[in-house]
Amino acid sequence: MNTALSPDQRADMVIGQMTLDEKIQFVHGTGWGISNVIDARSNGGAGFVPGIPRLHIPDINMTDSAVGICKAAIQGRYATLLPSTLGAAASWDPDGAFLYGSVIGREARALGFNMSIGGGVDITREPRNGRNFEYAGEDPVLAGTMTGELERGVKSEHVMSDIKHFALNDQETGRTVVNVLLDKRSMRESDLLAFEVAIGIAEPSAVMCSYNLVEGDHACENDYLLNQTLKKDFHFKGWVVSDWGATHSTVKSALNGLDQEMPGDDNYFNAPLKKAVEDGQVPMTRLNDMVHRILRSMFAAGVVDNPPIRSVVDPFRGRDDAQRIEEESIVLLKNSGNILPLKASAATSIALIGSHADVGVLSGGGSAQVDAPGGNVIDPKPGPSPWGESIYFPSSPLRYIRAKSPQSKVQFIDGKDAVAAAKLAGSCNLAIVFVTQPMTEAKDAATLSLPDNQDALVEAVAKANPNTIVVLETGGAVTMPWVQDVKGIVEMWYPGIGGAQALANILFGHVNPSGKLAVTFPKSDADLPHPTAPGLEPVSNGDSHHEVRPFDLTYTAGAEVGYKWFEATHRQPLFPFGFGLSYTTFAYSGLQIDNHARTARLTIKNTGFREGTEIAELYVALPSAALENYKRLVAWQRVTLAPGESKSLTLTMNPLYLSIFDVPKDAWQLLPGDYKVTVGPSSGQALLKATLHVRP
């Protein structure tokens, strides 16, 4: 308990006192879920590892918490639903991500958990992946930065943090049987780079290995992923925890880098591991290393010195934080004739249509599901919110739009009947159609099209009323066949418990939108590297379910993920990565490169009539020797400007983000040559150009 010693020293002192049985007890959980017979001390979260009271080592109580603390309802308690992390990534705001993580850490503590197992950073290689909403988009640097800051926020509250799912768990279809094939250079420059960036920033307590196989080995017994890359190259000091049921062996897993089996009832790391250690198949030094990694992370995060103190979650502070994050995350995609912002003083008539916008907002499903207070607002039942269903939270767009525009007549219609919806729209001055794309773990969307005939609903309303605005609540990109027919498009993602207030503030201009897409919005599925999600395409016998039949998935697009794929294959997206509008306008000027410091200086001016925040994005195309036909996001900065105000920005180009992974040398290489630097408001618009020279 001497806090003057380092976490590593303290861990080793504890290990010196531990028996073999205690060590074994520490490297696996006690079983799946509350339905099983688990230790009475468990807090009812996704995972439980009993501590060692005689050595003052506390239990590890793990909670799922991708977008807020899960399973609070089991304890009859409340937790804040934050916007989806994909939404929050659209803020490009590392401070916002830190705040996001601190909300999770704060509420985990209050609910008695000392470990959060969120931190998803699998990049959006498959835009129909059911879990994209709990990740951070398609770019490894943006996703890694945002997720790293988020997990730093978790740790700031003395709660252990996690980054997952390592690695290449980019789709849910066949997730436990799919064998992902991707060349090393592409792997390191895309999916694994996102982890490298996030882990470098967060120094997380744990990294969760994924369900799938990579190049023939399951991720949780994959020497290249765990030993060579994560532990050696990324210098990761924490522990590797298996995804739930993703352990497949004892000796192979232990030797190839897995440190802890969860939830523990597959029985590889209990008696069989003890025997393997006694037989000498797994050296005692390796078992000690596993335990060391767990203990040192407990000391480093402070869960030994500052254990959680149960208290009342502050729902008001949580809601305010969620709203603030959402206000930065909403992306304004279209604003023809400046239909937005709406004027609060106007006495007008507004038709609100669809997606239960009278009562609530949609959330994402699966192990990220936060329990809705009062139950699903469209079908309230007491208790935890069911896994994998469309759960709506009580944040009513109708209520807050009415509050913003007290003189207007605001009417709601559910949108189930497009003719009736069009009739109401035609009788009003303005129509706002809400559309939803429910997404959940364990299921990919078959297509990027909106489900349930919502495209037809939008078309019908837009035909009836030229002043139509569409508000999207989606897990990721969707196609928009009606894009030319509506005046306004607002993407609010799964917006969290402050969603309706945030939306009303954006619609009425109390907050100027500043979010920019963290994913490309394609025009159609046909433009994707895999026009059908692999494993969902029908096979000869008509079956499309690969969950039980192993299959190989070759990612032929390599590192060309998202905007890189669109650029390399000369495709035009519907909306490019990094795109988002504001109610004001910005001018970019004076790009200057410092070759020595590898910085770019430029000036941004607010040329409009209201305060606004711009995100300046810097992309770099490598010299031809890199053999890349796309540019990479390398740096960005958010800047808030009053009307007429100018600011000078300095963006730093991290050499890692400019490097290629040299496979024969097994190392990153910064090639000498000329790097084309472009700066602008999105990946689709290069307003300033210059060259960075890198000398040999």
Footprint on this chain of ligand BGC (rule: CB under 6 A):
46, 64, 117, 164, 243-244, 367
CB of 46 to ligand BGC, least distance (A): 4
**From CA 143, how far away is CA 151, in angstroms rounded?**
12
Least Cβ distance, residue 76 to ligand BGC (angstroms): 20
Q: State which residue, 23 or 164, has the beta carbon closest to ligand BGC.
A: 164
Residue type, position 519, single letter: V
Q: How far is the CB of 643 from ligand BGC (least distance, A)?
A: 45
Q: Phi/psi at 274 (nearest 5 deg)? A: -60, -45
What are 52's strand-pairing partners? 57
Looking at the Cβ atoms of 117 and 634, the one nearer to ligand BGC is: 117
- Cβ–Cβ under 8 Å, residues 122 and 175: no
DSSP state of 383: S
CB atoms within 10 A of CB 364: 28
Are the CB atoms for 415 and 422 separated by under 8 Å? no
* Residue 46 or 445 having the CB closest to ligand BGC: 46
Q: Is the Cβ of residue 23 or residue 128 nearer to ligand BGC in the bound state?
A: 128
N- to C-terminal Cα separation, the chain: 51
Q: Least distance (Å) from ligand BGC to the CB of residue 584?
A: 40
3-state helix, strand, coil in the chain (%, to 5): 30, 20, 50
What is the token pair recorded at 308? 């959680």
Helix (H) / strand (E) containing 678: strand 673-680
Interacting residues of 314 by C-beta distance below 8 A, sequence separation 6+: none
Q: Between residues 163 and 464, which has the closer beta carbon with respect to ligand BGC?
A: 163
Rounded least distance, CB 238 to ligand BGC, Å: 16
Q: Which residues pair with 675 in a beta bridge?
A: 692
- Give the residue with the Cβ less far from ligand BGC, 62 or 581: 62
Angstrom distances, CA of residue 64 to CA of 386, 498, 671: 14, 21, 42
Burial tier of 689 (Cβ tally within 10 Å: 0-12, 13-18, 19+): exposed
Report, in Å, the least distance between residue 85 CB and ligand BGC.
Answer: 13
Q: Among residues 18 and 46, whose Cβ is nearest to ligand BGC?
A: 46
- Say whether 316 sits in a helix, a strand or coil: helix
Of 387 and 668, the one with the shorter C-beta distance to ligand BGC is: 387
Work out how close the CB of 287 gets to ligand BGC at its nearest, in angstroms, rounded to a whole number. Answer: 24
Between residues 36 and 345, which has the closer beta carbon with respect to ligand BGC? 36
DSSP 246-293: ----SHHHHHHT--BBSSSTT-SSSHHHHHHHHTTSS-HHHHHHHHHH
Give the pair of three-digit tokens for residue 508: 């009425």
428 Cβ partners below 8 Å, 6+ apart? 348, 349, 350, 351, 409, 411, 465
- Nearer to ligand BGC by C-beta: 131 or 334? 131
The H-or-E segment that residue 563 falls in is helix 563-568
CB of 30 to ligand BGC, least distance (A): 14
| Of 120, 141, 126, 84, the residue nearest 617 (C-alpha) | 141
| Least distance in angstroms from the C-beta of 274 to ligand BGC | 25
Which of 243/525 has CB closer to ligand BGC?
243
Whether omega for the bond prior to residue 373 falls within 30 degrees of 0, making it cis, is no
Q: Which residue number, 263 or 498, has a Cβ lying nearer to ligand BGC?
A: 263
Instruction: Give the separation between CA 57 and CA 303, rounded to whole angstroms.
Output: 9
- Least separation in angstroms between CB 243 and ligand BGC: 5
- CA-closest candidate to residue 674, choices 686, 690, 688: 690
- Among 580, 474, 478, which Cα is nearest to 528's? 478
Which element (helix H / strand E) includes 464? helix 454-464
Positive or negative CA dihedral for 284, 289, 290, 291?
positive
Report in angstroms how near the CB of residue 133 gets to ligand BGC at its nearest: 13
- Complex with ligand BGC: residue 388 or 673, whichever CB lies closer: 388
Min dist CB 392 to ligand BGC, Å, is 22
CB of 189 to ligand BGC, least distance (A): 25
